[in-house]
Each structure stands twice: as structure tokens, then as C-alpha cells.
Amino acid sequence: AERRRRAAAVIEEVESSLATPTALLRGIADAMVAEMERGLRGDIHAQLKMLISYVDSLPTGDEHGLFYALDLGGTNFRVLRVQLGGKEKRVVKQQYEEVSIPPHLMVGTSMELFDFIAAALAKFVGTEGEDFQLPEGRQRELGFTFSFPANQTSISSGTLIKWTKGFSINGTVGEDVVSELSRAMERQGLDMKVTALVNDTVGTLAGGRYMDNDVVAAVILGTGTNAAYVEHANAIPKWTGLLPKSGNMVINTEWGSFKSNKLPLSEYDKAMDFESLNPGEQIYEKMISGMYLGEIVRRILLKLAHEASLFGDVVPPKLELPFILRTPDMAAMHHDSSHDLKTLGAKLKDIVGVADTSLEVRYITRHICDLVAERAARLAAAGVYSILKKIGRDKVPSGGGKMPRTVVALDGGLYEHYKKFSSCVEATLTDLLGEEASSSVVAKLANDGSGIGAALLAASHSQYQ
């Protein structure tokens, strides 16, 4: 009984520290809009970098030819080739391969990482079949999707600002990642030109627009989180170049680094941040994205084990290990709807090493998953809402008339596979927008849109144009 009382006290404390009432979400969205404006002004203290992507026009459907893309994410990287057939034939043929990044390369040297990537790409190019056609005498061209913040000076160059997610490699920050990749390709004897460097959000936006003309923003919810959207070039005070013909510029918000005292930061978040590779940075990302959600759950369960003997008199040693509980396992536990929570029980046995958990303990575990996932999803929805606010697609125009159909392309393993998470993002967005505006807004899964998007941008920036 004493244990129960103590467990209830911890749970209650967790519930209140993770709470995200709608009014709080509105405040967070307003703070994000303010940070976006600061970033667009070029304020060096702005939390959202609002990076200029040098993409001023999105795919039209006219793109054609053979193009490659390489997508370096936080967990995986993908190589892809696509034969584009213009307006009529669209994507004629597409092939891709996914390779997981060996963990030691995430914390090794720049050269090792890029050599590994270039080798995988060279191998993939080697399997190009007859149905892909490169005109005589032409060099193969590639769109490089890079899911880390980079300062671009053109569509095909950019220097790394900082590593995020699980990456920590000395010597890459400040270097041009396109030259790094190009040199590695040369070392592999691979003759290929990088014609577009795009953030994964920008790639997803481009791929999304190719599929649906009303896509105005893209959001990634995978290992990390980020968003990009189409901004009016004249709403970017820091842009000093010529006004693009389209009048638009795609902005990579780098919203993962958002931080605000409005964010419901718990003791578990603070401790996880403190022990991370990048303390004090990427706070919003650490509350929302796939790399971290399972770890937050683990920390709460550990507290319950210590304070309320949740898993018996001894604290299971495995529960002390950082990142032992991965987000896909958390999702599997959360999605267990069987009456005896059998899957959840089996997961606890596998991961934490405790057999024979009581039904009550299983329910508590699922409830913790629910609290952490729900906070993440609601905060993510506040982010989407803030972008819609920024571009004036959050409400019906005041002068009357209907709001244009507005599509947000979403991608990333977390959004794609964690159903309870994605449904909560959508429900919260609907709630924030209200009935009328939400009827014009569509959240659309853009599965692997970033790869095809990068290939499309490589095509529209081809040296043979």
C-alpha cells in the first residue's frame, strides 16, 4: 500500500510536469512565430536559424532525366535513383537502397563517414540497369539531402553549423559538406556532381509539392525534428540578394533548437539534456523526436523503480542504462491493447529484464508511454500551427472568402510508424485551428519524399539546364 501511494505520487508529479493544455500550446506557437521573425531578421541570438535554402522554386512536374539522391539522416542513409519523364510520364522508374549508419561512424572522423557513404553510393551506381538512361557524354548528378543545419551560400554548397542527434564528429563543423562528399566520391573513383544540397525538410517539401500542388510546408518527425516552408522573399529582411523571380524562398526553420520557458521541461528532460552530447541545445527536439522519447520513458520508469519499487525490491540494472529503451519499443508497448498487456510484458522482460510484471505495473508503464508520447505530439502540433500562423493559413481570411487548401507534408519514422503519436498530432492541430480553418488544412504523410525531392531539385539545378 505504501508502494502504491508513492507510485501514485510520482505519477501525479509526472502528469503535471508534462501537461500541455491548449492555452499553453497557443502561447508556445506565438513564441515560435516570434522566434521565426527574429531568425528571418538575422538576429544572431534568434533560436530558430531560419536558414535560406536557395530553393526559390519548387518542382513543377517538368523535370526529366536520370538523377541520383543521397539522404543522410540521423539513423539511416538512403541512396536513390530516379528516371523522370516530365509532365506526362512523371516518375518513370525509381530504385532505392537503405543502409543503417554504423554507430562508430557517428562519432568518428569526417573522412571515415564520407568515405563510407561514397562507397555505398558507388556500389549502388554500379547496379544501374538498362532502364535508366543517361545521355551520352553527361555526368551523373546528385541531390544531397543532409539532415543537419548547414549555412548555404548557393544551392550546391553549405557549411555545417553543428552536428545534432547522435552525431559528434570532429573537424566537420565549418567545412563545406558538398566538397567533403565530392572528395570522397573522387576517392571512390565515382564521377558524379552534386547539383543540390538540401535539408531533409526542404527535400520533403519539394517531393510533397511534386505530388500535390497545395503543399506549403514540410515537417520531419524522425530521429530528430525540423520543418521547412515557403516564405515570401520580401518577408526575409536578412535576404540581401536579388529578389527571386518567383517571389518566394524556402526557409529551413531548424525548429529543433527552439527553447522557451513556456516549454513544459521536466526534471527528466533536464537530466537527459545535461548528459547528452549537446547540452542546452535542441531542447524542443529532445522533447519531441524519436531519438529521445523512449529515453524519457526510461528515466521516469527508473524514478518509479527507485521511489516506489515498481519492478520489485531491487532496481533492475538494465533500467539504469541510457537509451536502452528505444522509441519503437515504447511504441509497441503503448500500442498494446490486449486485456493482459502481453506484448508490453514481453517487452519489459526483453528490455529491462524483469519477468512476471503485474498487470498494474504494465498499466502504469503504458500510461507513462502515453504521457510522454502525448506531450511530444501536442508540442509538434503547436509547431505546425506556428508555421501556419506565420504564413496566414491558420484562419479564414478576415475579408471573407474561403481559406485556400493548405497541405503540410510530414515524414520521418516516428510520424510514419507511431500511430498513437501521429493521430494525436492531427487531433491537436485540428483543435488549435478550430473547425472552420482545419477543414482546409491537410496533414499528409510524404513517405520518403525527401529522397525524391532532392533528386527533383538536382534536376531543376542541373548543369545541363
Q: Closer to ligand ADP at the Cβ: 211 or 414?
A: 414
Instruction: Mark residues 358-397: x for contact with Mg ion by CB under 5 A, - for none.
Output: ----------------------------------------
Counting contacts by CB under 5 A, is residue 73 touching Mg ion?
Answer: yes
Question: Cα–Cα distance between 20 and 265 in angstroms, integer?
Answer: 11
Q: Closer to Mg ion at the Cβ: 165 or 298?
A: 165
- Answer whether 429's CB lies under 8 Å from 435's CB: no
Binding partner selected for residue 115 from ligand ADP, Mg ion, none, CB under the kind-specific 5 to 8 Å limit = none
Residues 415-434 that bind ligand ADP (CB under 6 A): 417-418
Q: Closer to Mg ion at the Cβ: 73 or 294?
A: 73
Counting contacts by CB under 5 A, is residue 200 touching Mg ion?
Answer: yes
Counting contacts by CB under 6 A, is residue 225 touching ligand ADP?
Answer: no
Counting contacts by CB under 6 A, is residue 222 touching ligand ADP?
Answer: yes
Q: Minimal distance in Å, beta carbon 75 to ligand ADP?
A: 4
Q: Closer to ligand ADP at the Cβ: 75 or 172?
A: 75
> Distance between alpha carbon 456 and the CA centroid of its chain, in Å?
20
Give the one residue of 20, 53, 147, 422 binding ligand ADP; rule: CB under 6 A: 147
Q: Closer to ligand ADP at the Cβ: 236 or 373?
A: 373
Question: Cα–Cα distance between 80 and 97 in angstroms, integer?
Answer: 6
Q: Minimal distance in Å, beta carbon 182 to ligand ADP?
A: 22
Residues 48-87 that bind ligand ADP (CB under 6 A): 73-76
Counting contacts by CB under 6 A, is residue 451 touching ligand ADP?
Answer: no
Question: Cα–Cα distance between 424 and 439 in angstroms, integer?
Answer: 17
Q: Of 176, 200, 329, 336, which is the active-site residue?
A: 200
Binding partner selected for residue 291 from Mg ion, ligand ADP, none, CB under the kind-specific 5 to 8 Å limit = ligand ADP
Binding partner selected for residue 383 from Mg ion, ligand ADP, none, CB under the kind-specific 5 to 8 Å limit = none
Q: Closer to ligand ADP at the Cβ: 147 or 257?
A: 147
Q: Closest Cα to residue 4, out of 320, 345, 301, 304?
A: 304
Q: Minimal distance in Å, beta carbon 147 to ligand ADP?
A: 6
Q: Closer to Mg ion at the Cβ: 18 or 69?
A: 69
Q: Closer to Mg ion at the Cβ: 73 or 207?
A: 73
Whether 200 is a known active-site residue: answer yes
Q: Of 49, 165, 389, 390, which is the active-site residue?
A: 165
Binding partner selected for residue 236 from ligand ADP, Mg ion, none, CB under the kind-specific 5 to 8 Å limit = none
* Three-state DSSP string of the chain: CHHHHHHHHHHHHHHHHCCCCHHHHHHHHHHHHHHHHHHHHCCCCCCCCCEECCCCCCCCCCCEEEEEEEEECCCEEEEEEEEEEHHHHCEEEEEEEEEECCHHHHCCEHHHHHHHHHHHHHHHHCCCCCCCCCCCCCCEEEEEEECCCEEEEECCEEEECCCCCCCCCECCCCCEHHHHHHHHHHHCCCCEEEEEEECHHHHHHHHHHHHCCCEEEEEEECCCEEEEEEEEHHHCCCCCCCCCCCCEEEEECCHHHCCCCCCCCCHHHHHHHHCCCCCCCCHHHHHHCHHHHHHHHHHHHHHHHHHHCCCCCCCCHHHHCCCCCCHHHHHHHHCCCCCCCHHHHHHHHHHHCCCCCCHHHHHHHHHHHHHHHHHHHHHHHHHHHHHHHHCCCCCCCCCCCCCCCEEEEEECHHHHHCHHHHHHHHHHHHHHHHHHHHCCEEEEECCCHHHHHHHHHHHHCCCCC
Whether 444 is a known active-site residue: answer no
Question: Cα–Cα distance between 370 and 334 in angstroms, integer?
Answer: 7
Instruction: Mark residues 328-347: x for contact with ligand ADP by CB under 6 A, - for none.
Output: x--x----------------
From 33-41, 128-136, 323-331, 423-431, give the range in contact with ligand ADP by CB under 6 A: 323-331
Give the one residue of 290, 316, 345, 449 binding ligand ADP; rule: CB under 6 A: 290
- Answer whether 78's CB lies under 8 Å from 448's CB: yes
Give 314's contacts (C-beta < 8 A, 6+ positions apart): none
Q: Residues in contact with ligand ADP, total (CB under 6 A)?
A: 17
Give the three cell numbers for residue 93.
Answer: 522508374
Instruction: Mark residues 205-244: x for contact with Mg ion by CB under 5 A, - for none.
Output: -----------------x----------------------
Q: Minimal distance in Å, beta carbon 96 to ligand ADP?
A: 13
Hey, which residues are catalytic here?
165, 200
Give contact residues for Mg ion (rule: CB under 5 A).
Answer: 73, 200, 222
Q: Which stretches of the chain bind ligand ADP, using CB under 6 A?
A: 73-76, 147, 222-223, 290-291, 327-328, 331, 412-414, 417-418
